[in-house]
Amino acid sequence: MNRRGVLDNRDVVIGIIGYGYWGPNLCRNFFELDGVRLKYICDSSQEKLDEAGRRFPRVELATEIQTVLDDDEVEAVVMASSAVTHYPLAKRALLAGKHVMVEKPLSLEVEQGRELVDLAEKNGRILMVGHLLIYHPAVDYLKKYLDSGEAGEFCYIYSQRLNLGRLRRDENCLWSLAPHDISVMLYLFEIEPESVVARGASYLQDGLEDVVFCTLYFPGKKIGNLHVSWLDPHKTRKFTIVGKEKMLVFDDMSTDEKVRVFDKRAYYLDLELGNEPQIHYGDQTVPFIRWEEPLRKECAHFRDCVREEKKPLSDGEQGLRVVKVLSAATKSLELNGQPVALEKA
């Protein structure tokens, strides 16, 4: 039901902007999703539109976003264009009265992200950011497990997002890869870091880091560390979470053991008496997690948010927090690893 208590089962009419790397995946999911009518696919490349037309023959094609925005039947637009266009195109869509889902990152500047969040709120429109991993069943399990308190007090988390490729020329590996890991860290622990330290190096293209090591310093001595690179022999997508009672590993490359829970911990019986540390080795368990395609779940969530006029799980504010971390990390890279406090926004 929407805010007025009215059951709303109408088809949400949408247009998708951008048919490059990620656009076809979004088109497939929205095209197949019940309760959605994909009316437009928009791209500046006629060649890409021809490809889209062959795959989705009943969908209208447009080379200009204004064609989509001028159609009163279109309630929502999905931005799958290059990152540099996210802010100007999302702003145009919000000003046109459309609900907006924009792929990560929300924007390239903190001020731009804040403007989009404020504009969506002022116009009463949904603004959602495509932080895909938040809709991953394994991340949902981690969130519920940590919230239950079974892992004990959280100590630290680290992630690795590595591969040989896909190389980019328009952004470094921090902006290309790290939004996934940062969004998960912020979602799981519901607090912003106070400062960020980042070091990296460019080996293939001057000025575009191919590897970045980034550490997030949260209140209460909590730490998050991420290692991202597209110049690595391993294809790795992994999170490790350490609590005082339990430890968890989410390995997205594993086919049948996405999450493992370790009953392991270290502690002192009485530190003041100089006791030796106690090490506990318990069982390792692999919980059953029902699989659902994260992108399908994300697209369905956007549909439901538009229908029910509800706040998205990865709303504009969450997307803005990720941009704040990325911005601080970028400044730290420029300062050769000096700590940088997050901007107030």
How confident is the model at residue 268, as a pLDDT? 80
Name the DSSP letter for residue 276: P
Residues 321-339, mean pLDDT to the nearest whole number: 98
Q: How confident is the model at residue 275 (pLDDT cuts 50, 70, 90)?
A: confident
Mean pLDDT computed over 152-161: 97
Q: What is the pLDDT of residue 13?
A: 98
- Specify the pLDDT at position 273: 62
The reported pTM is 0.94
Look at 345 and 281; give whichever has higher pLDDT.
Answer: 281
- Render pLDDT for 33-49 as a digit per residue (tens, 0 to 9): 999 999 999 999 999 99
**Whole-number average pLDDT of the chain:** 95
List the beta bridge partners of residue 76. Answer: 14, 99
- pLDDT for 5 equals 54
The reported pLDDT for the residue numbered 10 is: 84
For the segment 83-109, the average pLDDT, to the nearest whole number, is 98
Amino acid identity, position 44: S
Domains assigned to the chain = 12-131 (3.40.50.720), 134-294+325-341 (3.30.360.10)
Per-residue model confidence (pLDDT) at position 48 = 97
Which pLDDT band, with edges at 50, 70 and 90, does 221 fall under?
very high
Tell me: the pLDDT tens digits for 111-150?
999 999 999 999 999 999 999 999 999 999 999 999 999 9
Q: How confident is the model at residue 277 (pLDDT cuts 50, 70, 90)?
A: confident
Whether 8 shows a pLDDT value over 90: the answer reads no
Closest by CA position to 48, among listed 93, 81, 85, 89: 81
pLDDT given for residue 276 in this prediction: 78
pLDDT of residue 1: 52
Whether the predicted pLDDT of 25 surpasses 90: yes
Helix, strand, coil proportions of the chain in percent (round to 5)? 35, 30, 35
Counting Cα atoms < 13 Å in the Cβ hemisphere of 267 gives: 13
pLDDT at 7: 52
CA 2: distance to chain centroid? 26
Q: What is the dihedral of CA 141, 127, 18, 136, to 10 degrees?
A: 0
pLDDT (mean) for 306-315: 97
pLDDT per residue as tens digits for the range 295-305? 999 999 999 99
DSSP line for 120-139:
HHHHT--EEEE-GGGG-HHH
